[in-house]
Structure 1
Amino acid sequence: MSTQADHGRELIPRPEQTPDALRAALAVVDPSRLEEMQATKDDAFAKAVEWQSLSPVQSWVLTWARDIEIARRPELSARLSRARANLEHEDSVIAREALRELSAVLDEAMKAVGG
């Protein structure tokens, strides 16, 4: 596991991008999503076999690395929660800003994990 101190307080170090490391990290930062992770992993591996391509597995790794990146950084997780809460706000300006913020959070997390 590696970490970058410039992101402020982190709950855990950034995990390696392997299924076992990602699962172990998720078990700490958001254990309620472990079943979802396993289901999407099973689907990705089945598609990889069917398509004869590693792209579904690579996509699965990046998606979970991104989500764990958000969950392990409380400030980023809080930004995501606030954005999601305002996505369907009655004020369209607030809803658009929430969508922009949601996109910014996802982009920041993806860049952090190399995606």
Structure 2
Amino acid sequence: MSSQPVHGGGELIPRPDKTFPALRAALAQVAPGRLAEMATERDTVFTMATQSNSFGPIAMFQLKWAAIIEIERRPDLVGRLRAAERAAQELDRDDPAWRAAMDEVRAVMDGARAAVAGATGE
């Protein structure tokens, strides 16, 4: 995404609010190929929320996609994640390096979730 402006800290875009419109707009900038996936999941989640009379599924949807965008908007994180995912796919599960790759995937995802968990946008 070299055509995108780089904001402070090497970020492609500022961190969006966790509202659906803000998340959708941010995803369109950093990973437009995932918009259909987000829309399909949104439909499922909103149906679940309606059936269960709970906002829990919607809150989890927002946190998940905010974390995905957090990674995609930061070249350092997306690079770490993609490298770890590639290693995990290429290595044998008995190889200790496979576990290290999976730990790296988890660390990136957990860090992104923690970064956005209390954020309201910047």
Instruction: Judge which range, 90-99 or 102-111, deviates more.
Output: 90-99
Aligned residues: 110
Gaps of 5+ in 1: none
1:48-69 deviation digits (Å, cap 9, x = unpaired): 0000000010010000000000
CA distance in 2, matches of 1:107, 1:34: 22
Instruction: Report 1 or 2 for greater relative contact order, CA contacts < 8 Å, sequence distance ≥ 6.
Output: 2
Percent of aligned pairs sharing the same letter = 45
Per the alignment, residue 98 of structure 2 pairs with 95
Partner of 1:59: 60
Q: Which residue is 2:3 aligned to?
A: none
How does the TM-score come out when normalised to structure 2? Answer: 0.86
Residue 9 of structure 1 and its aligned partner are, at CA, apart by 0.1
**Gaps in structure 2 of 5+ consecutive residues:** 1-6
Q: CA deviation at 1:94?
A: 1.2
> Quick one: distance in 1 between partners of 2:116 and 2:106?
16
How far apart are residue 87 of structure 1 and its match?
A: 1.1
Alpha carbon RMSD of aligned pairs, Å?
A: 1.4
Question: TM-score, normalised to structure 1's length?
Answer: 0.91
CA deviation profile, 1:65-94 (whole Å, cap 9, x unmatched): 000000000000000001100113036111
Superposed displacement of residue 36, structure 1 = 0.3
Instruction: Please report how far the alpha carbon of residue 95 of structure 1 lies from its aligned counterpart in structure 2 after TM superposition.
Output: 0.4
- Equivalent residue for 1:107? 110
Question: Which stretches of structure 1, 4 residues or more, deviate above 2 A after TM superposition?
Answer: none
1:85 equivalent in structure 2:
86
